[in-house]
Homo-oligomer: A and B are copies of this chain.
């Protein structure tokens, strides 16, 4: 409740136009109103007309469809991530116009918002096996009104491929760098570009990658100053972090 509104309310009480009981009812929300405001404001900025994200993991098919239906009642669009084949089929049947990104295991229902953030996020992947995570980031950006551009398969073992893309990388407003194995890509990139580099370790690797732990630790220990890191395989989280950085 803004001070202005509170003052108006108290004046109504004094003037006898608002009964004490009614005033109390409205004031009962005060303790959380400030927080709620924060929440809504936050969402407005970050989501720009996009009301719901559904994480598919661990939800059965019927529930997934039902949640999507409920969400569309009060939101222009829905982004469903980490979907199984069965969940994808059910959502595609129920919402014929839905967009399906197979590699990212994502379905988007409803129209994408107009771009509402500064600049373009370049989503870089080290290997072809890292692309599903990179695509999760790219689709999330698109769904929330961010501009995204892929730059895939430029791992550090083939440095010439990476350097070939350098001019465009240096124009990015932010870079999401997706890599498994030894996770060196963000360190090399951050030495070459001035923009934020969000590192996403992937669980791609054999043996001593320990489900992405090797890449995660490498990224946290980057010798290039200013790299930040999100959870293993968390393309969604990287995209949300980029949006926080690029709101006006």
Instruction: List A residues at the B interface (Cβ < 8 Å).
Output: 3, 6-7, 10-11, 13-14, 16, 20, 23-24, 27, 30-36, 38-39, 41-42, 45-46, 53, 55, 57-58, 126-127, 129, 155-160, 163-164, 166, 170, 174, 180-184, 187-188, 190-198, 201, 203-234, 236-238, 240-241, 243-245, 247
Q: A157-B225, A194-B244, A220-B231 are in contact. List 6 more A-B contacts (CB 8 A).
A: A32-B164, A39-B191, A196-B245, A207-B216, A214-B220, A226-B244
Q: Which residues of B contact A219 (CB under 8 A)?
A: 182
Q: Of B3, B157, B160, B196, which one neighbours A244 at CB under 8 angstroms?
A: B196
Residues A166 and B34 in contact, CB atoms below 8 Å apart: yes
Residues A32 and B194 in contact, CB atoms below 8 Å apart: no
Q: Which residues of B contact A126 (CB under 8 A)?
A: 223
Nearest B residue to A169 via CB reads B38
Q: Contacts A6-B27, A24-B10, A35-B159; is A221 near B205 (CB within 8 Å)?
A: yes
Residues B13 and A10 in contact, CB atoms below 8 Å apart: yes
**How many copies of this kind of chain does the complex include?**
8
Residues B181 and A221 in contact, CB atoms below 8 Å apart: yes
Residues B188 and A208 in contact, CB atoms below 8 Å apart: no
Q: Which residues of B contact A206 (CB under 8 A)?
A: 57, 221, 231-234
Q: Contacts A20-B10, A225-B236; is A156 near B156 (CB within 8 Å)?
A: yes
